[in-house]
Structure 1
Amino acid sequence: MTFRHLMLASAATGLFTLPSFAQTSAAPAAEDSETIIVTGTRRVDRTVADSPVPIDVIGSEALRSSGFTETNRVLNQLVPSFNFPQPSITDGTDVIRPATLRGLSPDQTLVLINGKRRHTTALLNINGSVGRGSAAVDINLIPSIAIERVEVLRDGAAAQYGSDAIAGVINFQLSRKREGGSISVTYGQYETTMDGTRDVTGIARDAGGNPILQPNSTGSASFFQLTDTGKDRKASDGKTTTITGNIGLPIGAEGFVNISAEYRDRGATNRTAADPRRYYGLAGTPLDPKELTLNRFTHRYGDAKTEDVLVFVNAGLPVGEALELYAFGSYGHRDGESAAFYRLPNETRTATVIYPDGFLPLITTKLKDYSITGGVKGDVGPVKMDFSLGYARNEFDFLIKNTANASLGPNSPRNLDSGGLRYDQFTANLDLSYNIEGTSFESLTIAGGLEYRREGYQLRAGEPDSYRNGGALVGAINPLYAGTATGNTGAAIGAQGFPGIQPRIAGQDVTQRRTRDSFSAYGELDVDIADWWTVQLAGRYEKYSDFGDTFNGKAATSINLIDGIKLRAALSTGFRAPSLQQQFFAAQATNNVGGVLLETVTLPVDSPVAIALGARPLKAEKSTSYSMGVVFTPLPSLSLTIDYYNIDINNRIVVTENLQATRDAAGNPTGSDPGASIARILNNAGFNSVNAARFFINGIDTVTKGFDAVATWRTEIGDSSTLRLTAGFNYNETEINGRRANPGPLAQVPGVVLFGRQESLRIESGQPRTKLNLSADFEREWLGVTLRANRYGRTLGAGADPFLDVNMSAKWLSDLEVRVEPVTGLQLAVGANNLFDVYPDRVPAGRGVDPVTGAARNYGATAYVTPYSSFSPFGFNGRFLYARATYRF
């Protein structure tokens, strides 16, 4: 921790003494302890201070005091147990990045809008990122301008809300303002120096003018030694313009319609390093002069270019004196563009007859998302009632540009439609609650309800040229290999960057629409037995058409020991239903491995190939969790909470490793290794053309434990100044404590690993074990200042073996914003996110020492062009400078 970071941390905490484990702006201010909450209870008068489980309330101003205008990035600054890595070169995940709570999977946190379940995206995160194998809610489709506040319930709540609420619940409450509004324009960009990534001037040469090879060269892989300027590379990119607006309009005497809109144009960032590989010719052949003048920053590694249009509407209209009609809806559109790895001209997959100097495939995506919910709520006699209907749909399409299907030869199109994904959800809810008067209790509320949900999922096939085999040979599309044995093998099949979705995979129609429905009923009891003792009980029965039924329960209590000290505890069971995306996503790609084309497929669990390997219908994940904590409020303006949690999850759903079959030229299994046994299984089932397969299984059990500590202090300085200090800490540890035995025929194959080291460590160590957030907010008449310091703990980017692991040490990031109001209604702000331009530790490249064998060994070639790990919990873009103008009317 440097002196400058220590000064920032001291500024946020120096005015009061707290333990070293205090929390962030996620906590409510002390004066907000009487704020009425709507998450985690059906009572209408439950407050933050009274809640028997931890709930953080984040106000709208905290969400907007940042240069980042994406809601996920802002929550990452405010909530210690919230993690939002920003991966790159992960296909659609570059554009829809998932976030996690308490280190669990993105799909194990339930997201609500106005208390109603928010739909997930159609995209399945299938590549090498945190949350691999999950389909989650895209929180960045919810613009901060539309949000009145966010309630984060840090406790299991499946018994109250159903599937997904294992880690907790995030409830976004939309603005209900019926008059006035605001418009805001924010502009920012990254101004940064890439730590440890040098600018280069060319290839180093010896006294005879010959290129110098790097020490890690083995002769077959020609890595040049590059000359650098002695200075780290600078970048000025990621230019982002965000325009937001909100207006409240009255309907009648008490009704309202509140409309919010956001337009965001975010430029791409690029944090790639110089590529020292040979681009032209093969090892041992004369050097092509173009190598000496080549721009070696050919890759794109960083944020995708995106353009968003988001609209939210929230409306309510009283009917009579007891009921209210309400409706809210959203529309989202996002165009994205990210990159795959650069295709070098001396690679067998590169069609140099089309791209003589190689090419960078661009994955452009189009997202369309809309939802509508309407209902009626209010008093029906002594009973409070809420009935609603909702529908939502998410579409995600891939158009690959600057690409080629090499197997089509020189006539391959350069732009290819690779297909898309569709997901929709219909829900119907009835919630009833009744406050029973005249009992011996301080208060007693009973609640119950019913829910019906129907989900649909479908794949859209790409155009035939995006996936079909045109029959061209490597030698025909890349003359470099003409006349060689490799040149006589088949060229790579499918659109490079993202092969098209095929209508049939392994003999199965994968584009058929899949649906399921579920019915649930719940009951809830909320009772203040005395003014010092609260008890909550809940139970929920849910039946799904695809995997069966489940019952879950919850009990929570809080006890006020003395004034200023309250104990609380909760025990619950939970579940997460396997998503349709996990059950039925399918993809096929042809990979050239050592000159051999391998058909690699991701299979639906009901695929005959997957069943032949042992796949079974997915079951729900089951959890048991408990928490206990203490709340200190020694002063009206000061609060401190500490909560311990333990979450056991059985039957977690994961995707298997690639199960590779090994065959000879005639298609017969070769050898006695696992690959030969897998080939026999596939051949016996009639699938001789499938070379490698993977599918989803209920593969592991995990235990997650940790604690949150939250502290807030608010004080008035003089007659016109306010200072609010918040601090927060999260410690989180996940361990795999059980693995399922290999299913079906694979149980007889020695050496087969369904869920290997890399994916295991991704779950156990791929997110920071500790996170500390500190902030200070000062307001005085026309002046406002926000100062934040966030510490992200050690993180591991796991490789296939220990040598390839990327250990990222703890880092401090600091943010500063200054606001002025020169005239009433107009606010101007300037600021910096990551003020001191901090980067994660550099990914090792070149040659190193194997920690197991002690032998010298080479790191992979991609380590040169991806200098920072995608597992960094704060990304790897550097300093972001911005200015904002807001006018309120």
Structure 2
Amino acid sequence: MKSRLLLFAAASAAALVSTAASAQTKPANDTAVEELVVTGTRGEGRTRLESLAPVDVISPTALTRQGTTELAASLATLAPSLDFPRPAITDGTDSIRPATLRGLAPDQTLVLVNGMRRHASALVNVNGSIGRGSAAVDLNAIPTISLEKVEVLRDGASAQYGSDAIAGVINLRLREARSGGSATATYGVYDTKVETARDPNGRTKHDGPTETIAAWQGLPLGKDGFLTLSGEYRFRNPTSRGDLDPRLTPPQISSRYGDPQEKDVTFYANAGLPLNDVWSAYGFAGYQNRKTDSAAFPRLYNDSRNTPSIYPQGFLPLITTDIDDYTVAGGVKGDVGGYNVNAGVVYGYDKINYGVIHSLNASMGAASPTSFDAGSMKYDQWVASIDVTKPLDLGIAKPATLAFGAEYRHEGYAIGAGDVPSYTFGGITGKAAGAQGFPGFKPSNEVDKNRHSYAAYVDLDAPVTEKFDVDVAARYENYSDFGSTTNGKLSARYALTDSFALRGTVASGFRAPALQQQYFTATSTNFILINGVNTPVEVGTFPSVSPVAAALGGKPLEPEKSTNYSLGAVFHQGPFELTVDAYQINIKNRIVLSENIQGSPTGSPTAQAIYALINPPGSAGLGAARFFINGVDTETKGLDVVGRYRLLTDDLGEFDFTAAANFNSTKVKKTPKTAQLSALPVPPILFDRGNVLTFERGTPRQKHVVSVDWSRAAFAATAKATYYGDVLVPNNSPSLDYHTGSHTIVDLEGRYTLPMGPVLALGVNNVFDEYPNKTPTIVNTTGAVGFPSFSPFGFNGRFLYGRVTINW
């Protein structure tokens, strides 16, 4: 009821503003809201309000006014259905943080660049973060300075684009400019008071200073072509939001729980060149190098994993990543006998080199090194496609658009071993093997796998009457590893008046199992909650078809399958617009990472039986094993509401009001089981209560954004308030559950354009220094964390920043 009242109040306020302003405003520029879109449609010249499915169009101006220079963080503040938590102490996920759309998995949203499939990161999320078990696209590998706009299709689109488009599609459109340019320098720092469960009086922190320098330049290419270059350098210092460690006397901070230290260098180029009156060539390329270090859990001086002769005061292991990510694409488009043809190829590559510093291999004793090469993961992808469109005169209101095409995709995935000290057992009995914090990949973990797929699709967009438009699409794909799948989509839009229309979609979709999910393997020390205590356990992660996983019931992974329904309404009158879209997404056979199946050489018959299954003769004595498995069915229901009003006044300047809301709920309908484990005296759970509730309550069920942009002469300002609904941080024992709480974050920015042209901006994100609820001491026995990493707005507090922009 509270949510309905808030939404009703926002809508009423917008209506009142519209009515009150009608007598004092200039004539509104109606074309200002008519952005053309290419995502989700094969037809040309269609605006986002005319589209048959909901599409958000986000400008580069809006992206750069968020304080943060991270693309994923900026998008999350602008798109109510997008969630971007900031996990910490989660190994590689600290450095490559996944975003989610409509509360689904990060890899259930397809990402395109200029309409071409973007490659995923080599990382698979295997620890306790949102998106556990997923292998997603790293949105932060693309700098905001390089973008012309971002289109977010909030609708299932596998029949149009193929695998992954279950929740929707994010299409990143690069700048296209022959001239002009811009340079921006941004500096920001956290200025906050940190109050944790064991430190209610708090401490003042001024940390995480971030420097970003970015620029773009448009250049002519031939007579009518363009070449747009962009680049960005960003350095972010780490933050620390841990609690006091009660194991120390007096209690003090022993962890570094927060953002990692990070340095990014990124370059992008986008080009287009007419070859003649009919054909043109296009291409883009991008490269990013990202170096990070993030903290693991601290090891105190008396920890069994410490060697006092090396670290008499204990140590805090740091996990480093050196990530190279690049992409290159090219193609031609033109006309052949009345058919518009677009043929292109794109290649993407992502490699993560892991290291561990300020650490040791306890099993080597005093002979242990303190820094390690922990190995690497890499993923690459080739996509070759041809898309053909043709107007058809079917004797209906307007020419229909027939589209068809084909695609070939080749993917590769590899794991490389680290240096010997990073994984070896050094011979000291009772001491953990490998680098503390992140044991290196062993030679037995090395893989080098690939697969390919073929696809063909057809799409017909038919304006049956002046008011009624129907789109029908179908797509067939065949994969070399699991076989084929066919998906379809039916969308329609009916305009009851020039201002009001209804739209809806019924579609099927799929997501192919990622190579990362099929072949990732590693052995690491995980902290598992046992009898209320975070306990280190050696855990092996295995491919589902490995001997260990097969002994537990693992089978070859199959694709996830979805059915999507949506129904919405669009209203547009002058400078006011409102869209309301309800949706339901049913997904079967979702791929998840199983629980840690724990065994013991002693104890109950079940524990001994599991120990025998996961420790074949000659093994190192694992305490637990896990593997990827199909079998989770979910149902997601929700509602998106977006309203916008533009007000142009003679005396007060120009105003752009936006109010948006997302309501989302997911229910887990089925969890996986295997015959082998079900036959044990006490069958272990493959997908436990904690993970079920993470699916259901790990992202906000409500998110509301209200903002206003104002400008008058040389002055401008942006004010925004974002309400995040409560998020549950679940455990297997209900008594250990806790919540982030519901919070409203207020952001402010002011801008002034100097007479010579530079634009100065000062801003504050999280003006009132809001934090999620504190992590309770009952689940934080070491004090390593201070706040829940599930928080949708992070846990770093107030951020002050300044920005200088020069345009030419």
Instruction: Sort the TM-score into its range (normalised by shorter chain).
Output: over 0.9
Name the CA distance, whole Å, in 2 between partners of 1:687 and 1:742.
Answer: 23
Task: Name the residue aligned to 1:67.
Answer: 67
Equivalent position amino acid for 1:84 in 2: F
Name the CA distance, whole Å, in 2 between partners of 1:356 and 1:681.
Answer: 39
Q: Name which of 787, 790, 798 aligns with 1:868.
A: 787
Match of 1:125, SS?
A: coil
1:676 Cα offset (Å): 2.1
Task: Determine if contact 1:341/1:361 at 8 Å carries over to the other structure.
Answer: yes
Q: Name which of 431, 437, 442 aligns with 2:387.
A: 431
Deviation by residue 1:145-177 (Cα, 9 ceiling, x = unmatched): 111011110000000000000000000110001
Equivalent position amino acid for 2:787 in 1: Y
Q: Name which of 836, 839, 842 aligns with 2:768.
A: 836
Task: Name the residue aligned to 1:610.
Answer: 549
Moved over 6 A (4+): 9-13, 591-597, 683-686
Name the CA distance, whole Å, in 2 between partners of 1:620 and 1:84.
Answer: 25
Deviation by residue 1:44-103 (Cα, 9 ceiling, x = unmatched): 222212111101111111011121100111111101000000011001111110000000
Task: Name the residue aligned to 1:416.
Answer: 372
Q: Rg bigger for which structure?
A: 1
Name the CA distance, whole Å, in 2 between partners of 1:671 and 1:457.
Answer: 39
Q: Name which of 547, 571, 579 aligns with 1:632.
A: 571
Q: Name which of 484, 488, 493 aligns with 2:433.
A: 493
Do structure 1's residue 562 and structure 2's residue 497 form an aligned pair?
A: yes
Task: Name the residue aligned to 1:444.
Answer: 400
Name the CA distance, whole Å, in 1 between partners of 2:644 and 2:696.
Answer: 31
Task: Determine if contact 2:197/2:775 at 8 Å carries over to the other structure.
Answer: no
Name the CA distance, whole Å, in 1 between partners of 2:359 and 2:735.
Answer: 33
Match of 1:140, SS?
A: helix
Task: Name the residue aligned to 1:40.
Answer: 40
Task: Name the residue aligned to 2:307.
Answer: 351
Name the CA distance, whole Å, in 2 between partners of 1:685 and 1:384.
Answer: 62
Task: Name the residue aligned to 1:759.
Answer: 691
Task: Determine if contact 2:672/2:686 at 8 Å carries over to the other structure.
Answer: no
Change (3 A) 1:36 1:631: same
Task: Name the residue aligned to 1:303.
Answer: 259
Change (3 A) 1:599 1:843: closer
Match of 2:159, SS?
A: helix
Deviation by residue 1:126-154 (Cα, 9 ceiling, x = unmatched): 11100001111110111111110111100
Task: Determine if contact 1:408/1:472 at 8 Å carries over to the other structure.
Answer: yes
Q: Name which of 417, 424, 431 aligns with 1:468.
A: 424
1:681 Cα offset (Å): 3.6
Equivalent position amino acid for 1:500 in 2: G
Deviation by residue 1:456-494 (Cα, 9 ceiling, x = unmatched): 000010101001111114xxxxxxxxxxxxxxxx21111
Task: Name the residue aligned to 2:216.
Answer: 246
Match of 1:77, SS?
A: helix
Deviation by residue 1:374-427 (Cα, 9 ceiling, x = unmatched): 000122231111100111110001110000000011010000111110100011
1:615 Cα offset (Å): 0.5
Instruction: Report the count of equivalent residues.
Output: 789
1:750 Cα offset (Å): 3.2
Q: Name which of 575, 582, 586 aligns with 1:644.
A: 582
Equivalent position amino acid for 1:405 in 2: N
Match of 1:176, SS?
A: coil
Match of 2:247, SS?
A: coil
Task: Name the residue aligned to 1:154.
Answer: 154
Q: Name which of 442, 453, 456 aligns with 1:518.
A: 453
Change (3 A) 1:194 1:663: same
Name the CA distance, whole Å, in 2 between partners of 1:544 and 1:743.
Answer: 28
1:598 Cα offset (Å): 5.8
Task: Name the residue aligned to 1:572.
Answer: 507
Deviation by residue 1:546-598 (Cα, 9 ceiling, x = unmatched): 11100000000000112321011100000000000001001113679999996
Equivalent position amino acid for 1:716 in 2: L
1:805 Cα offset (Å): 1.1
Task: Determine if contact 1:367/1:395 at 8 Å carries over to the other structure.
Answer: yes
Alignment of 1:223-302 (within 5 A): 231-278=201-248, 291=249, 296-302=252-258
1:454 Cα offset (Å): 0.4
Change (3 A) 1:454 1:95: same
Task: Name the residue aligned to 2:717.
Answer: 785
Task: Determine if contact 1:520/1:540 at 8 Å carries over to the other structure.
Answer: yes
Task: Name the residue aligned to 1:210.
Answer: none
Match of 2:464, SS?
A: strand
1:745 Cα offset (Å): 5.3
Change (3 A) 1:11 1:267: farther
Task: Determine if contact 1:730/1:770 at 8 Å carries over to the other structure.
Answer: yes
Alignment of 1:443-842 (within 5 A): 443-473=399-429, 490-504=430-444, 510-589=445-524, 599-633=538-572, 635-664=573-602, 670-672=603-605, 674-682=606-614, 689-718=621-650, 721-744=653-676, 746-842=678-774
Name the CA distance, whole Å, in 2 between partners of 1:231 and 1:689.
Answer: 45
Task: Determine if contact 1:30/1:713 at 8 Å carries over to the other structure.
Answer: no
Q: CA RMSD in A?
A: 2.3
Q: Determine what percentage of the aligned residue pairs are the same residue.
A: 46
Change (3 A) 1:629 1:463: same
Name the CA distance, whole Å, in 1 between partners of 2:620 and 2:436.
Answer: 24
Task: Determine if contact 1:493/1:589 at 8 Å carries over to the other structure.
Answer: no
Name the CA distance, whole Å, in 2 between partners of 1:440 and 1:875.
Answer: 52
Name the CA distance, whole Å, in 2 between partners of 1:426 and 1:592.
Answer: 38
1:15 Cα offset (Å): 5.8
Name the TM-score, length of structure 2 as normaliser.
Answer: 0.94
Task: Determine if contact 2:728/2:739 at 8 Å carries over to the other structure.
Answer: yes
Deviation by residue 1:310-339 (Cα, 9 ceiling, x = unmatched): 111000000101111000011000000110
Name the CA distance, whole Å, in 1 between partners of 2:435 and 2:689.
Answer: 30
Name the CA distance, whole Å, in 2 between partners of 1:449 and 1:587.
Answer: 40
Name the CA distance, whole Å, in 1 between partners of 2:489 and 2:97.
Answer: 31
Alignment of 1:325-404 (within 5 A): 325-404=281-360
Deviation by residue 1:287-330 (Cα, 9 ceiling, x = unmatched): xxxx45xx721210110010000111000000101111000011
Task: Name the residue aligned to 2:21.
Answer: none
Name the CA distance, whole Å, in 2 between partners of 1:18 and 1:451.
Answer: 49
Name the CA distance, whole Å, in 1 between partners of 2:111 and 2:104.
Answer: 14
Name the CA distance, whole Å, in 1 between partners of 2:304 and 2:680.
Answer: 37
Deviation by residue 1:15-53 (Cα, 9 ceiling, x = unmatched): 64499xxxxxxxxx9644432211001112222121111
1:818 Cα offset (Å): 0.6
Change (3 A) 1:271 1:596: closer
Change (3 A) 1:833 1:683: closer
Change (3 A) 1:167 1:590: closer
Change (3 A) 1:439 1:312: same
Task: Name the residue aligned to 1:165.
Answer: 165
1:437 Cα offset (Å): 3.4
1:747 Cα offset (Å): 4.2
Match of 1:104, SS?
A: coil
Task: Determine if contact 2:108/2:511 at 8 Å carries over to the other structure.
Answer: yes
Deviation by residue 1:512-559 (Cα, 9 ceiling, x = unmatched): 310000000000000111110010000000000111100000000000
Name the CA distance, whole Å, in 2 between partners of 1:88 and 1:512.
Answer: 28
1:658 Cα offset (Å): 1.0
Structure 2 alignment gaps of length 5 or more: 19-28
Match of 2:39, SS?
A: coil
